[in-house]
Structure 1
Amino acid sequence: MASIDSFKARQTIQAGAKTYTIYAIPQAEKNGLPDASRLPFSMKVLLENLLRYEDDRSVKKADIEAVVGWLENRGKTEVEIAFRPSRVLMQDFTGVPAVVDLAAMRDAMVALGGDPQKINPLVPVDLVIDHSVIVDEFGTPKALADNVALEYERNGERYTFLKWGQSAFDNFSVVPPGTGICHQVNLEYLSQTVWTKPFEGHEVAYPDSLVGTDSHTTMVNGLAVLGWGVGGIEAEAAMLGQPLSMLIPEVVGFKLSGKLPEGTTATDLVLTVTQMLRKKGVVGKFVEFYGPGLDDMSVADRATISNMAPEYGATCGFFPVDQKTIDFLKVTGRADDRIALVEAYAKAQGMWRDAQTPDPVFTDTLELDMGDVRPSLAGPKRPQDRVLLDGAKPGFAQSMETEFKKAADIAKRYPVEGANFDIGHGDVVIAAITSCTNTSNPSVMIGAGLLARNAVAKGLRSKPWVKTSLAPGSQVVAEYLDKAGLQSSLDALGFNLVGFGCTTCIGNSGPLPAAISKSINDNDVVAAAVLSGNRNFEGRVNPDVRANYLASPPLVVAYALAGSMQIDITTEPLGTGSDGKPVYLKDIWPSTAEVQEFIEANITSTLFKSRYADVFGGDQNWKDVEVTEAETFAWNGGSTYVQNPPYFVGMEKTPKPVEDVVNARILGLFLDSITTDHISPAGNIRAASPAGAYLQEHQVRVQDFNQYGTRRGNHEVMMRGTFANIRIKNQMVRDEAGNVVEGGYTLYQPSGERMFIYDAAMRYEQEGTPLVVFAGKEYGTGSSRDWAAKGTKLLGVRAVIAESFERIHRSNLVGMGVVPLVFQGDASWASLGLKGDETVTIEGLAGELKPRQTLTAKITSADGSVKEVPLTCRIDTLDELEYFRNGGILPYVLRQLAA
């Protein structure tokens, strides 16, 4: 907390029966921060953070003045500030490696002669185990129990490790498997909107804020909690008390007016907003929603929009505190004194929004009348590729021509062994109600249940080739669907509960039935998935499915009934009813009024209080996990899930000077929009891959491989899976016809031999040859994945040279000691004519490096000719420079603590 109070912001407020100390922006405005009240609400959260932590070291008076100076420059002037979030949120995929790193730091601290107990989270950390359940069983009443049993069988080692962490570390809590998705548990239970902490005899109140190791941490912006996704690397730094270095952002205001028309959902709204903001270009910016449209918009609808911030590219999608925030806190069972504090605090701080609130100042604005929103999907490959529902059929036909080059085969059908049906292109083989985006929203979940009820009443059934699943984001959803009498109708269509967690959206869709999978692969069928998720990148949902569409939960059910993207469900029947007549979507679509009626009748605070009463206790499976309590972890050398990583091997108390990159080889040449899914190991582990070979060498059967996400605590598996995505295209690697070969291959130089990227990297390492990677625009889009940076580092890559970077991945590379560089002007590796057999020397790293300095790359072709290329070093801040000089953020923090 602030040891200096330059603007005399400290004051007390009364809320209920209690008195709290706050750092009041209106007070600071009177004492030297003119017009601070005109700032966007999201910027006020940053301003309060700096007022509270002013210490003349990490936060100076000038930093605070710079936030108010934003009113003049609107974020166009680059100013670095240090932000300290109130807490950290993790899910198990990204949380396990973070806890592994903490455990490794305890060992390293012992090696440096220090006290391992110094390694503890210094802010509250919640880890929600939600990413490990897989949809193996589906469409039966026992699917949930069977999937949970398989989850524990596969993940015993990881769960033992996490339970050890729960007992070993202070300030660290674990929400056990089967509770829900981290973002929904965060929204419904963990978040408080206003946080409190005792300090020097006072109870200090301040805005709830967080960073999370999942990019959809932004979902809680819908509850006026400022938070965003960071890599595990940054999250670990925040856990260990390091301020997050950030540039004061531009803030784009998104004005909402009007109301959604009948027949549309919050999902249709969010897909429209996502497309508009992607087109606008908001990467690295804050987005803040305002306008009269917020007056009647529920927190659930807001959270749906905020959740998709990574898909529209923004750092956050923020909604301010208003009466709807208070209503949500009440219905979800928050404590009365906390609700009173949220209202009193927001009003005292000028952070309360109502119909009379003047619009804040923004960098730029755009506007949507929600009355113009129409039913939509997004696909077949990207969340921003919105198609109107009535355009989905022609859109798929166009994709068959342009994306998949199979227009001539569009009408062909193929037999399925042992089945009484055939399959064809565009057949929906997965229909999944899943993911945090929509399962947190009662309006679309009740809507799906009512549509299922109406369909069953008409005698409709899901098509037999559709793998149906329902994976709610919290147990509350299952409870209200059951209470409303709607789960039985969903069951009748095959939408039985399969688990509480993040399933299909992250590739945990489980295998398709063997005969269907075989027919798809034998006949190169372009099969489709329709899911209520937020991600639909190619190769992500299921290895057998190439066309993936995001849709609202009711539309997921509708497409399960129709069974094909080649049906226009707005005009063609979904099927034939029990009376022999065609049934259309309009015949079974529930009205907005009926949905609202069901919400009011079935969703109560009692429901939330009972479901979250023992949230950290877990079920019997969790209680049965045995652990030995100790301050350092007893590593098992034979474990294929959890290993002590090599980041601190041979580390000394002071870092060695950074050297230039000399005569590096090129590991990959990539085009635009390479996602962290392409770079980082994700999804299934193939037997014929370096990671598959490693597991088999360690006596793991192929059926027990699990998938990459569950093995993030083992660097040996993860580095072998880096750049190993089946759909990644390294432009260096071509077949005899000159076409780019898909998959994780490179050409080892100078021989030009084709091999797996991992194998080539290890051979280069033995020779002492450094590596670089070249890429196009928006390198590293998608989820924040620390392994996209960790794997890059462990493969021996010193620098990534791209046309532009996604915010989180750039930061993660620096956090691992890999330098991100961008071409200047319109230059690119393609315009330079690079083929991949060149050597690269980067000069200027060894000198007095400054943030965003221009460096020179000398690129030598095989014929000996040399090109000198100017590059901007995207180490953006002085803090990042310190991390880079130390070889990464973890060695930096460890040296600080050891000193």
Structure 2
Amino acid sequence: MLQLIDNGVYLVNRETLVQISANGEVLPICGQVTDGLLLEGSRAETARQNTMAYQILMRHNTSGDPDKLKIRFDALASHDITYVGIIQTARASGLKEFPLPYVLTNCHNSLCAVGGTINEDDHVFGLSAAQKYGGIYVPAHMAVIHQYMREMMSACGHMILGSDSHTRYGALGTMAIGEGGPELVKQLLQKTYDIAYPEIIAVYMEGKPRPGVGPQDVALAIIGAVFEKNFVNNKVLEFIGPGIKNLSVDYRNGIDVMTTETTCLSSIWTTDDKVKDFYRIHGRPEAYKELHPGALAYYDGALVINLDKIEPMIALPFHPSNVYKISELNRNAGDILPAVEAKAQKQLDNPNIRFALADNLVNGRLRVDQGIVAGCAGGTFENLYEIASLSENRSIGKGALAFSVYPASQPIYMELIQNGAAAKMMAAGITIKTAFCGPCFGAGDVPANGTLSIRHTTRNFPNREGSKPGDGQISSVALMDARSIAATVFNGGYLTPATEMDLKPSAPVYAFNNEIYEHRVYQGFRQPLPREELKFGPNIADWPTMIALPEHLLLKVATVITDPVTTTDELIPSGETSSYRSNPMRLAQFTLSRKDPEYVSKAAAIDQLEKERRAVIKSAAQTGISDALQDLCKQVIRQTDLFEDTFDMLNTTGIGSVIYALKPGDGSAREQAASCQKVLGGWANLAVEYATKRYRSNLVNWGLLPFTVEKTVEPPVAPGELIFIPHIKEHLKTGEEEITALILSAAKARPLKLYLNKMTADEREIILKGSLINYYAN
């Protein structure tokens, strides 16, 4: 089904994948191989320039150095969880006008169900910003962010940067990257996105999916194969091979958007007449260009997928990589579920919650309570059309089982109405809702406590569906393809692969109607109205003041997380808390609330000592210092031998909090996973490695030191311990990558090796200044 090749491969004549052995022997992997196959010019250095990714990256690279890229993008995209903070940051850094197309969509906080007016206040702010600075504003319920970008902004050979991790338009010939908000701020200020040239992995597709196998099945198979192996982390996936022609564009988009869950950096696909038709249908034929690798292209590794052999898949809680064949789960549920439960219970780490998937077993068959198809992954036209085909003359029943679908844009919804598909679904009892990402991150269709929802969305992290563990709640999500979700619902909720249904392959004709956008979307690019005033609701707050990096740092360990991977949802919860994301301090009160409910109070107590320190320095008074601060100073002075007295130490040593996690940052691009730590007084993270480049970037841009440490059996630090980092400012200035810190204890300090690997000069300067805001202000 899938084959992973963890070393270099060549694509010959755009169809044959081979390796070359150490003695020069050609070793075929897949594709048509003929006698006398020649690999002229087979030096990897030359052939790697023939990938599509290389060509696109070089066209957008402004550095002149193919190894150290400085990228400028063609367009930007944000939704209503992130754009307020981005614009506030850019505004504080001197923004006058959006220099490139910037799309502001309203698809996350569109229910306006929490906090009174605060969600709609953000939408009003967004429109005023689009007017003032020259942006594109898509009102609520018009389209989810990525569907609008597919329909209206993608173009072959272009690059798009979005403040959402699922920014992926590779199937449309657009290299897209999801990053934290500060990276978009850099583009708005006409700066660059700086990365080392990434490895490129070939994803070679052959064969054709069977009826009933959908894009989510292929995507889950890929995620299950590569995630735990870290096979494509921060690399670019380049989709090639003869199997692509057997996939519709919607199908390709459905696979592509889920590549985020592999932790890759971006993706790009070969394009063909189907993509050309997509752009023609959407009224933008000029956006099409044929993309393909050169006659001989080199890749750093490969993933070979036989589409014929993909089966309907399910990702059980609590990660998209927890993948099983549905047929396998149906045969062996009694063996599989206990292992899943044990792993999940450890991940939840909450003795007050009983997680028991086996409660959903009926006569050995898993029965679900809810079905959802929504968002950028699920709400595409073809997914919903096929659900409609299965709905004819069927009913979801009158019991507790519910089924809702969310067309990803109003044009899709209109077409479903006009071709009768919507009527079929409604007649079967399916609820059709508007374009909204809520079911994907816990702000819509929250299941009942103890129930299981199957969803064609992007993620199934713990509590991401909206349950509140602090209140003893637990419900969960398994990811599946829309076709098998419909098959399951119409089989009374019993888990059923769509391949068991009588499916007739269909090729629905899609007609895109742009009048909806023409009548409603504000198009302000290149037409800024600088005299327009930004409209601030009472919840929209400026970022608090952030100081420059002190000479030394004293960090107190606020929490230690030993999970194999820590998601951004666990660092800052999604769902209704997102409504507060325009108010940095208010949102910060939810930081780590699902993993360590005491974190906020612990971090705040440490920050209070830092605030007292600054007050002492400002007043130059050495009297009236609290006992807590005095005791801290005495311990540092006694164990470091660096300071003459308390005032000397306070004058040069910042005090803050730090968290330790094995591998933090999987999941969302939202910057708040880092900024919330910062506004609570955080100065650093300690990790064995970072799950994604975007989380590490968020740390840097908010002035948090992204330290790594050696992997050990037990964490090298414990909650409450003090870490003293002498001369950290000087270490940053001189570019040192290995720093010796001291863990202070009641007896004797012990050394701790900290690493700041591969930090650019700009990244070091941002941390020295204290944040990206300070960096630009200076």
- Which bin holds the TM-score, normalised by the shorter protein? 0.7 to 0.9
CA distance in 1, matches of 2:534, 2:342: 55
Match of 1:864 in 2: 747
Equivalent runs, 1:688-699 vs 2, <5 Å:
none
CA distance in 2, matches of 1:409, 1:681: 23
- Specify the code of the residue in structure 2 equivalent to 1:285: K
Match of 1:613 in 2: 518
Judging changes above 3 Å, is the alpha-carbon distance between structure 1 residues 535 and 462 closer, same or farther for their aligned structure 2 residues? farther
Match of 1:447 in 2: 386
CA distance in 2, matches of 1:316, 1:265: 22
Q: CA deviation at 1:864?
A: 2.0
Unaligned runs of 5+ in 1: 1-32, 54-58, 68-78, 107-117, 135-147, 194-206, 415-421, 521-525, 571-584, 619-627, 684-706, 731-743, 747-754
Do structure 1's residue 556 and structure 2's residue 556 form an aligned pair? no
CA distance in 2, matches of 1:472, 1:497: 8
**Contact 2:82–2:670, Cα closer than 8 Å, also in 1:** yes
CA distance in 1, matches of 2:611, 2:666: 31
Unaligned runs of 5+ in 2: 1-43, 347-352, 468-472, 524-528, 614-653
CA distance in 2, matches of 1:375, 1:634: 48
Equivalent runs, 1:455-604 vs 2, <5 Å:
456=394, 460-462=395-397, 464-511=399-446, 517=448, 520=449, 526-543=450-467, 544-562=473-491, 564=493, 567-569=494-496, 588-592=501-505, 595-596=506-507, 599-600=508-509, 603-604=510-511
Q: Secondary structure at the match of 2:723?
A: strand
Match of 2:236 in 1: 286
- Specify the code of the residue in structure 1 equivalent to 2:664: Y
Match among 707, 712, 715 for residue 581 of structure 2: 712
CA distance in 2, matches of 1:793, 1:629: 32
Q: Secondary structure at the match of 1:93?
A: coil
Match of 2:552 in 1: 660
**Contact 2:556–2:722, Cα closer than 8 Å, also in 1:** yes
Q: CA deviation at 1:810?
A: 0.5
CA distance in 2, matches of 1:677, 1:402: 18
**Contact 2:702–2:771, Cα closer than 8 Å, also in 1:** yes
Match of 1:789 in 2: 674
Match among 98, 103, 119 for residue 155 of structure 1: 119
Q: CA deviation at 1:329?
A: 0.9
Match of 1:168 in 2: 132
Do structure 1's residue 388 and structure 2's residue 301 form an aligned pair? no
Q: CA deviation at 1:413?
A: 9.1
CA distance in 2, matches of 1:122, 1:96: 18
CA distance in 1, matches of 2:500, 2:703: 59
Match among 119, 137, 144 for residue 96 of structure 2: 119
**Contact 1:468–1:495, Cα closer than 8 Å, also in 2:** yes
Equivalent runs, 1:42-121 vs 2, <5 Å:
42-50=53-61, 53=62, 59-60=63-64, 63=65, 67=66, 79-105=67-93, 119-121=96-98
CA distance in 2, matches of 1:483, 1:186: 23
**Contact 1:772–1:801, Cα closer than 8 Å, also in 2:** no
CA distance in 1, matches of 2:421, 2:242: 34
Q: Secondary structure at the match of 2:433?
A: coil
Judging changes above 3 Å, is the alpha-carbon distance between structure 1 residues 283 and 894 closer, same or farther for their aligned structure 2 residues? same
**Contact 1:658–1:846, Cα closer than 8 Å, also in 2:** yes
Q: Secondary structure at the match of 2:728?
A: coil
- Specify the code of the residue in structure 2 equivalent to 1:569: T
CA distance in 2, matches of 1:48, 1:234: 19
**Contact 1:232–1:785, Cα closer than 8 Å, also in 2:** yes
Match of 2:598 in 1: 745
Q: Deviations over 1:37-76 (max 9, x none)?
A: 84310111111223xx4xxxxx24xx1xxx3xxxxxxxxx
Q: CA deviation at 1:180?
A: 0.8
Q: CA deviation at 1:773?
A: 2.8
Q: CA deviation at 1:534?
A: 0.8
Do structure 1's residue 128 and structure 2's residue 105 form an aligned pair? yes
Q: CA deviation at 1:800?
A: 0.5
Do structure 1's residue 777 and structure 2's residue 716 form an aligned pair? no
Match of 2:11 in 1: none
Match of 2:566 in 1: 674
CA distance in 2, matches of 1:869, 1:666: 13
Judging changes above 3 Å, is the alpha-carbon distance between structure 1 residues 407 and 568 closer, same or farther for their aligned structure 2 residues? farther
Judging changes above 3 Å, is the alpha-carbon distance between structure 1 residues 425 and 816 closer, same or farther for their aligned structure 2 residues? farther
Match of 2:206 in 1: 257
Could you say what the CA RMSD is over the residues aligned between the two structures, in angstroms? 3.2
Judging changes above 3 Å, is the alpha-carbon distance between structure 1 residues 410 and 780 closer, same or farther for their aligned structure 2 residues? closer
Q: CA deviation at 1:819?
A: 0.4
**Contact 1:463–1:562, Cα closer than 8 Å, also in 2:** no
Judging changes above 3 Å, is the alpha-carbon distance between structure 1 residues 723 and 407 closer, same or farther for their aligned structure 2 residues? closer
Judging changes above 3 Å, is the alpha-carbon distance between structure 1 residues 831 and 154 closer, same or farther for their aligned structure 2 residues? closer
CA distance in 2, matches of 1:670, 1:332: 47
Judging changes above 3 Å, is the alpha-carbon distance between structure 1 residues 223 and 315 closer, same or farther for their aligned structure 2 residues? same
Q: CA deviation at 1:782?
A: 0.3
- Tell me the TM-score normalised to structure 1 length: 0.69
Match of 1:266 in 2: 215
Q: Secondary structure at the match of 2:770?
A: coil
Equivalent runs, 1:315-354 vs 2, <5 Å:
315-334=265-284, 336=285, 338-339=286-287, 342-343=288-289, 346=290, 351-352=291-292
Q: Deviations over 1:452-489 (max 9, x none)?
A: 225x1xxx434622343221111122122222322223
- Specify the code of the residue in structure 1 equivalent to 2:720: D
Judging changes above 3 Å, is the alpha-carbon distance between structure 1 residues 166 and 617 closer, same or farther for their aligned structure 2 residues? closer
Match among 214, 217, 225 for residue 174 of structure 2: 225
**Contact 1:133–1:508, Cα closer than 8 Å, also in 2:** no
**Contact 1:851–1:874, Cα closer than 8 Å, also in 2:** no
Q: Deviations over 1:179-198 (max 9, x none)?
A: 111101100112232xxxxx
Q: CA deviation at 1:231?
A: 0.1
- Tell me the TM-score normalised to structure 2 length: 0.80
Q: Secondary structure at the match of 1:668?
A: strand
Match among 168, 178, 184 for residue 141 of structure 2: 178
Q: CA deviation at 1:631?
A: 5.3
Match among 804, 811, 814 for residue 700 of structure 2: 814
Do structure 1's residue 403 and structure 2's residue 336 form an aligned pair? no
- Specify the code of the residue in structure 2 equivalent to 1:538: P
* Between 667-676 and 150-159, the greater mean CA deviation after superposition: 150-159
CA distance in 1, matches of 2:328, 2:514: 43
**Contact 1:223–1:321, Cα closer than 8 Å, also in 2:** yes
- Specify the code of the residue in structure 1 equivalent to 2:518: A
CA distance in 1, matches of 2:138, 2:115: 15
CA distance in 1, matches of 2:207, 2:74: 35
- Specify the code of the residue in structure 2 equivalent to 1:711: Y
Alignment: residue pair count: 671
**Contact 1:254–1:366, Cα closer than 8 Å, also in 2:** yes
